[in-house]
Structure 1
Amino acid sequence: MAAPLLANLSESLGSPEPAVRLMLSILIGYPCALVYRKYLFYQTATVINLFHAISGLALAAFNFGPQIYHSAVCVLVQFLMMRLMGRTITTVLSSFTFQMVYLLAGYYYTATEEYDIKWTMPHCVLTLKLVGLSFDYYDGGKEPSQLSAEQKKAALPSVPSLLEVCGFSYFYGGFLVGPQFTLRSYQKLVAGELTDSPGKPPNSVTPAMKRFALGFLCLTIYTIFSPYYPDSYFLTDEYEAQPFWYRCVFVLIWAKVILYKYVSCWVIAEGVCILSGIGYNGVVDGEHRWDACANMKVWVFETAPLFGGTISSFNINTNAWVARHVFKRLKFLGNKTLSHVTTLLFLTVWHGLHSGYILCFSMEFFIITVERQLANSPLYPLIYLVQQFFHWLFMGYPLVPFCLFTFDKWLKVYSSIYFCGHVFFLVAYLAMPHLRKALVPKKERSEIKQD
């Protein structure tokens, strides 16, 4: 009965059935959160963990059927590693190696040339959760003086139970598309501590509905406009026959539309986290904050004049996870640039095995490098409007290989627009030192360099 209904709904919306299942599963998080608030908030940790584990597993089965065994295997192996290996660096390295190899094997054996919603999609989210869990467990065995403020908040003082790890892993608010949160935060949720009314469910219905409404608006925009800006159009003779300016503007508009797919999912999922309470972030300046699980700063994303601002407002929790567990732990390298490159390499591999991911993140690194020179220059206020224009024009440029995946496809598109993004930022990178030397007094250049 459910299959024909889903097929009809998919056809009426013009969306693939897996996409419809995914969005329905994210929305089902809201009634799950309401059940937890009304009937389970005062129950024991065992009951709450069971509810979260079973409801999350049900959503996984609804989307991926028997393939849920992949996540179950990884959760069980992670638990056994912590139990049997203890708080050792061996546990961290074993966890990282096993979880990443399992994910990459999944990418390899399920790879196609299109973006498919399959079991590897939530599994990449789970991989970060489980690897982060091993780091937090390891940190729990260190002296507090050896830990940063972030690590102290996440460090685990005791070994979690299997049921606790399952509840954390399959929690309906973050299993499918994120966001990332620590087991310590999840434990506080189960203990009823993440609330603005001590001893009572949080007053989070209104902030949750605000995020839902914003996410639904983004989803509506994507649903209406995405049929007019499909990825496949890039590979048509019609696109190649268009004027150069049209091809560039199409990339810009396409990118804005395609990104709403991610924005809508993350913002709606954030609403689920807020409604359950795990989105509670304490009191700041006398106001209760609900942004602990915010994965998007939509206003910043829409208005930031710099690529750095756009990147920092997008997929926030994943970026924070990578900063905490990869970038900052590479401090021993003694070189920020090397740490940054290694971090981007990890993100590239984590996303998948296609060449498009490598090009996307390498281009991102190059753009940010150039932009920092511009932003730190006294010339910057003079070229603000120009920078704003090129920010919007080239925002979609690195997304082309990210979404088209394979070498033959993204090369065809980049060739049709004459690699204009590469040329522009290469010229800017090479010209900046000469512009500084010609236009900025030597004394000011020395002060900038010192800063």
Structure 2
Amino acid sequence: MYSIIESFSEKVYVPSDQMRYFLSFFIELPLCYILRYLPSNPRLKHFVYSIIGVIILLFVFGINSMIIIIPGLITYYAMKWKKSLHAAFFIFSLNLMFLTLLQIHKYINYYLQWYLDITTLQMIVVIKLGNFAFNVAKGSNTNTIKQTDYNKMNNIPNDQFPSLLEFIGYFYFFPSIFSGPCIEYQTYKKFVTLELFESYPNNHLKNKIPPIDWKQFFIVFSQGIILLLLTSIVIIVPLKVYFYEIVINNPNDYSFIQKMGMVMIFIYSIVFRYFATWKMAECMGILFGFGYSGVKENKPTWYGFRNVKLNDFFFSNSAKLVIDSWNIYIQTFMKNHIYESFELFGGILNEYKQSLTNLVSAFWHGIYPGYYLSFGMLALHHDVSCGFHSRIEPIIIKKYGKDSLIYYSYLVLTFIYARISISYSFIPFVIYTFSDSWKFFVNTYFCIDIIGLLLLIILYIWFPKQQKRDRID
């Protein structure tokens, strides 16, 4: 089969690793439909889901994918033995260190090369096992943990600690094993036992998954296909070569507008592949049923496995909302587990919890300097966006109203700022090195970051933060 895929990949100019990756989604979709009709036997489901997960991993990543069982078993037995927050953080750190070793190996042997390997898989494994470890710890230490909605929904109490078969079924659950997002253990368990659907409207079908919402499925599937086609075009057209020609290597031959236009095109071409992956995964959540997220206005919703909000990403006028709208599960993990852990540990960790959380997030992505530059720049524009929302917008609304030309102009300007600032900030993330990032900054005159810094100074000096009552008014 590998030789057939290699041959086809050469004909369509798509790398074989990426071809296997995207083909796996079209293998999984019919499997999701067929497995809806498995007998309502949890043990059988755990077994079948895990076997299929292992087979798909072998297809996509090869025999090297078998190594993930080692951190999986270590996490399971460690948390079975010691259900504390410190133990959970230690296990997460251990798995993160293993990921870092893989990234260092890739850095040394495949410098600046992007290809699908075990490192990509281990990134998902770190988050999935981290979720499990922290939820076990929080479920056994409810007196010291914040009882947020997230914790109430996802904590794993001591008396509900899974058997090894249940854990393996969760760990290898094929729709979330290699691409993300990572399903929560409690969601997986309730899906297997069908508890997830207790709130489904008029659910008289006992021991069965509710009917497929075909309308929602085809909406998301169409989005995924469009993004896959755009990804294919991007892979074939050497946009990275054009970016380096225009912005990095020969900037004097091109105008500032041409360089910034290339920045926007290049970044959006990169995010298409991520969005395509997440939308196809979201399709599986709808088709299989585990993406059920409750009832809104007497209608079932299917957002439980959504990892990107396209409307917010493409149309929001807030840089904060743009940042928050993609890779949702990773941000949820960092907020509810890493940030909260630093807060609970207290002392200097609590004092610098936001910076430390950002550092952990960057470290999870890899060791290239560009990752850390991007996260620092995103923090700047995130704060500027929050400043607009809390300091400028209430004044405009109060003085001119939401139907005024001033307010519409404000929305347009903040929309443009959000688009450009996010794209500009992500360039170091995708070109990796400090030297190329520095050339990029110099050739574009540090313009967006200087604007962001000036705006931040102006916001905090001349515009006092509006009180909550004023913002509501």
> What TM-score does the superposition give when structure 2 sets the normalisation length?
0.86
Where 1:115 maps in the other structure, the secondary structure is: coil
Counterpart of 1:425 in structure 2 is 452
> What are the residue-to-residue correspondences of 1:380-391 with 2, within 5 Å?
381=407, 383-391=410-418
In 2 relative to 1, CA 30–97 (structure 1 residues): closer, same or farther, beyond 3 Å?
A: same
Q: Which amino acid aligns with 1:202?
A: P
The answer to whether the aligner puts 1:44 opposite 2:41 as a matched pair is yes
1:386 CA drift (Å): 2.3
Q: Which amino acid aligns with 1:235?
A: Y
In 2 relative to 1, CA 26–240 (structure 1 residues): closer, same or farther, beyond 3 Å?
A: farther
Q: Which amino acid aligns with 1:56?
A: G
1:311 CA drift (Å): 1.2
Quick one: distance in 2 between partners of 1:278 and 1:144?
30
Counterpart of 1:440 in structure 2 is none
Quick one: distance in 2 between partners of 1:435 and 1:298?
34
Counterpart of 1:93 in structure 2 is 89
8 Å CA contact 1:255, 1:399 repeated in 2 = yes
Quick one: distance in 2 between partners of 1:418 and 1:115?
28
8 Å CA contact 1:37, 1:276 repeated in 2 = yes
Counterpart of 2:7 in structure 1 is 8
Quick one: distance in 2 between partners of 1:21 and 1:89?
38
Counterpart of 2:373 in structure 1 is 359
The superposition leaves residues 77-120 of structure 1 with CA deviations (integer Å, 9 ceiling, x where unpaired) of 1112123x232234313312221111111111122212221111
1:192 CA drift (Å): 2.3
Structure 1 portions without partners, runs of 5+: 437-443
Give the alignment partner of residue 211 of structure 2, picking from 203, 216, 238.
203
Where 2:352 maps in the other structure, the secondary structure is: helix
Counterpart of 1:105 in structure 2 is 101
8 Å CA contact 2:29, 2:287 repeated in 1 = yes
8 Å CA contact 1:194, 1:202 repeated in 2 = no
Give the alignment partner of residue 266 of structure 1, picking from 278, 298, 314.
278
> What are the residue-to-residue correspondences of 1:218-237 with 2, within 5 Å?
218-228=227-237, 230-236=239-245, 237=249
1:246 CA drift (Å): 0.3
Quick one: distance in 2 between partners of 1:255 and 1:204?
35
| Number of aligned residue pairs | 440
1:447 CA drift (Å): 5.0
Quick one: distance in 1 between partners of 2:451 and 2:86?
46
In 2 relative to 1, CA 433–184 (structure 1 residues): closer, same or farther, beyond 3 Å?
A: closer
> What are the residue-to-residue correspondences of 1:183-332 with 2, within 5 Å?
183-195=185-197, 196=200, 197=203, 198-206=206-214, 207-228=216-237, 230-236=239-245, 237-238=249-250, 241-332=253-344
> What TM-score does the superposition give when structure 1 sets the normalisation length?
0.90
1:329 CA drift (Å): 3.4
Pick which of 97-106 and 231-240 moved more: 231-240
In 2 relative to 1, CA 353–445 (structure 1 residues): closer, same or farther, beyond 3 Å?
A: closer
Where 1:123 maps in the other structure, the secondary structure is: helix
Where 1:296 maps in the other structure, the secondary structure is: coil
Structure 2 portions without partners, runs of 5+: 397-406
1:70 CA drift (Å): 2.2
Where 1:376 maps in the other structure, the secondary structure is: helix
Where 2:190 maps in the other structure, the secondary structure is: helix
Where 2:175 maps in the other structure, the secondary structure is: coil
Where 1:190 maps in the other structure, the secondary structure is: helix
> What are the residue-to-residue correspondences of 1:369-384 with 2, within 5 Å?
369-378=383-392, 381=407, 383-384=410-411
Quick one: distance in 1 between partners of 2:174 and 2:186?
17
Pick which of 267-276 and 90-99 moved more: 90-99
RMSD: 2.4
The answer to whether the aligner puts 1:138 opposite 2:137 as a matched pair is yes
In 2 relative to 1, CA 398–97 (structure 1 residues): closer, same or farther, beyond 3 Å?
A: same
Pick which of 110-119 and 226-235 moved more: 226-235
8 Å CA contact 2:378, 2:422 repeated in 1 = no
Counterpart of 1:394 in structure 2 is 421
1:448 CA drift (Å): 7.8
1:235 CA drift (Å): 2.6
8 Å CA contact 2:381, 2:421 repeated in 1 = no
